[in-house]
């Protein structure tokens, strides 16, 4: 049996991000650098890779994982201040990522924030077509592919 894996490449200011599967590129947000993609099943994802030093909370004297935690606190506080419910789902200090979500009153936005050398990876799944477990597995695999 032969498996063919398609990789969709996204160019960011800080390098390329590889995404498995077939995706249609939608748009890129100027402020966050997030590029949105959609597959044939209507699943929407977003990917961004930005230099750590470009964020106001970044501390060069802290570990990569501590900075990932600062990223999570910074971003999740923004949503809390705007009256959205947020929840941390999972963290992995060894591989340096946090998975969390907020609900935009329509769907859960499930994020993985992680560290990749001098950059933060910001990965998102936005769909009701997948279970939360499937979203988490997809994000973890996407992160491993780009770490």
**pLDDT per 10-residue tile (average), the chain, 147 residues:** 63 88 91 92 96 97 98 97 96 98 94 97 96 98 96
| Residue 4: predicted pLDDT | 46
> Per DSSP, what are the bridge partners of residue 136?
none
3-state secondary structure of 35: strand
Cα within 13 Å of Cα(82), Cβ side: 10
Q: Is the overall model pTM greater than 0.85, yes or no?
A: yes
> Per DSSP, what are the bridge partners of residue 88?
100
7-146 topology per CATH: Protein Transport Mog1p; Chain A (3.40.1000)
Residues 141, 135 contacting (CB under 8 angstroms): no
């Amino acid at each position: 049996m032969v498996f063919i894996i398609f990789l969709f490449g996204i160019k960011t200011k800080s390098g390329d991000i590889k995404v498995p599967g077939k995706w249609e590129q939608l748009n890129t947000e100027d402020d966050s650098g997030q590029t949105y993609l959609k597959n044939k099943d209507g699943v929407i994802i977003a990917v961004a890779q930005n230099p750590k030093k470009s964020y106001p909370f970044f501390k060069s004297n802290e570990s990569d994982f501590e900075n990932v935690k600062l990223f999570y606190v910074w971003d999740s506080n923004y949503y809390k201040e705007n009256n959205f419910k947020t929840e941390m789902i999972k963290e992995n200090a060894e591989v340096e990522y946090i998975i969390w979500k907020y609900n935009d009153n329509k769907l859960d936005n499930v994020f993985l924030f992680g560290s990749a050398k001098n950059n933060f990876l910001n990965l998102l799944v936005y769909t009701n077509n997948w279970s939360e477990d499937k979203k988490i597995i997809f994000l973890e695999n996407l992160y491993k592919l780009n770490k």
